[in-house]
Structure 1
Amino acid sequence: MRPVRFVALGDSLTQGVGDPADDGWRGWAALLAEGLTAAPADFTNLAVSGAQTRDVVERQTPAALELRPDMASVVIGVNDTLRCTFDIHAVAARLDEAYAALTGQGAILLTACLPDPGAMLGLPGALARPLARRQRAVNTVVHALSERYGAVHLHAAEGAWLTDRAMWSADRLHPGERGHRQFAVRFHALLADSGLATGSAPSAEPEFPGPTRSAGLWWLATAGTAWVLRRCRDLLPQLLGLALDEIRHRARGTSARLDLRASAAVSAALAALSVADRPDVA
Structure 2
Amino acid sequence: MTVRFAALGDSLTEGIGDPVPGGWRGWAALLAPALSPDPVEFRNLASSGALSRDLLLSQLPAALALRPQFAAVLVGGNDTLRDSFDLESTARQFASVLSSLASVGAVPLTACLPGPGRLLGLPAPLARPLARRMRSVNTVVHALSARHGAVHLHLAELPWTEHRELLSVDRLHPSAAGHQLIAREFHALLAGAGHRVGAAPDPLATEPPGRGADLWWMATRGTRWVAARSTDLLPGLCALAALEARHLLRGSTRQLDRAAALATDAVVARLTSDEHVHADGHVYTDGHVLTDGHARQP
TM range (shorter): over 0.9
**Residue 193 and residue 148 in structure 1: after superposition, are their counterparts in 2 closer, same or farther (change >3 A)?**
same
Query: Which deviates more from structure 2 when the two are superposed, residues 267-276 or residues 147-156?
Result: 267-276
Quote the residue 2:156 is aligned against. 157
Q: Would you say 1:201 and 2:236 are equivalent positions?
A: no
**Counterpart Cα distance in 1 of 2:231 and 2:198:** 46
Decide whether the 8 Å contact of 2:187 with 2:197 is kept in 1.
no
User: Where in structure 2 are the equivalents of 1:185-264 lying within 5 Å?
Assistant: 185-206=184-205, 208-264=206-262
Distance 2:251 2:201 in 1: 48
User: CA RMSD for the aligned pairs?
Assistant: 1.7
How far apart are 1:203 and its partner, in Å?
1.7
Distance 2:161 2:150 in 1: 23
User: Which piece of structure 1 moves more, 158-167 or 107-116?
Assistant: 158-167
- Alpha-carbon distance in 2 for matches of 1:197, 1:82: 38
Q: Structure 1 residue 56 and structure 2 residue 52: aligned?
A: no
Describe how 1:123-142 pairs up with structure 2 within 5 A: 123-142=122-141
1:143 is paired with a residue of what secondary structure?
Answer: helix
**2:50 alignment partner, SS class:** coil
Shift of 1:274: 2.6
Q: Indicate the SS of the match to 1:163.
A: coil
Deviation at residue 197 of structure 1 after TM alignment = 4.0
Report the TM-score when normalising by structure 2: 0.90
Equivalent position of 2:290 in the other structure: none
Instruction: Name 1:76's counterpart in structure 2.
Output: 75
What fraction of aligned residue pairs are identical, expressed as a percent? 54
Aligned to 2:103: 104
In the TM superposition, residue 64 of structure 1 has moved relative to its aligned partner by: 0.6
Equivalent residues of 1:33, 1:40 under 8 A apart: no
**Offset, 1:270:** 1.2
**C-alpha displacement at 1:251, in angstroms?**
2.0
Q: Distance in 2 between matches of 1:35 and 1:277?
A: 33
Question: Aligned partners of 1:162, 1:185: CA distance in 2, in Å?
Answer: 19
Secondary structure class of the residue paired with 1:61: helix
Q: Residue 272 of structure 1 aligns with which residue?
A: 270
Question: In the alignment, residue 154 of structure 2 is paired with which amino acid?
Answer: H
Contact 1:70 1:107 (C-alpha < 8 Å) held by counterparts: yes
Are the counterparts in 2 of residues 88 and 265 from structure 1 also a CA contact under 8 Å? Answer: no
For the 8 Å contact 1:35–1:197, the answer to whether it is kept is: no
Aligned AA (2:237): L
Unaligned regions of 5+ residues in structure 1, if any?
none
**d(CA) in 2 for partners of 1:274, 1:36:** 30
User: 2:18 is matched with which residue?
Assistant: 19
Displacement of 1:162 after TM fit? Answer: 3.7
Distance 1:172 1:61 in 2: 29
CA distance in 2, matches of 1:82, 1:148: 26
Q: 1:167, 1:176 within 8 Å by CA — same for their partners in 2?
A: yes
CA displacement, residues 12-39 of structure 1 (integer Å, 9 cap, x when unaligned): 0000001011221000000000111223
SS of match in other structure, 2:48: coil
Q: AA paired with 1:28?
A: W
In the alignment, the residues of structure 2 paired with residue 268 and residue 50 of structure 1 have an alpha-carbon distance, to the nearest angstrom, of: 28
Residue 9 of structure 1 corresponds to: 8
| Partner in structure 1 of residue 115 of structure 2 | 116
Question: What's the CA shift for 1:46?
Answer: 0.2
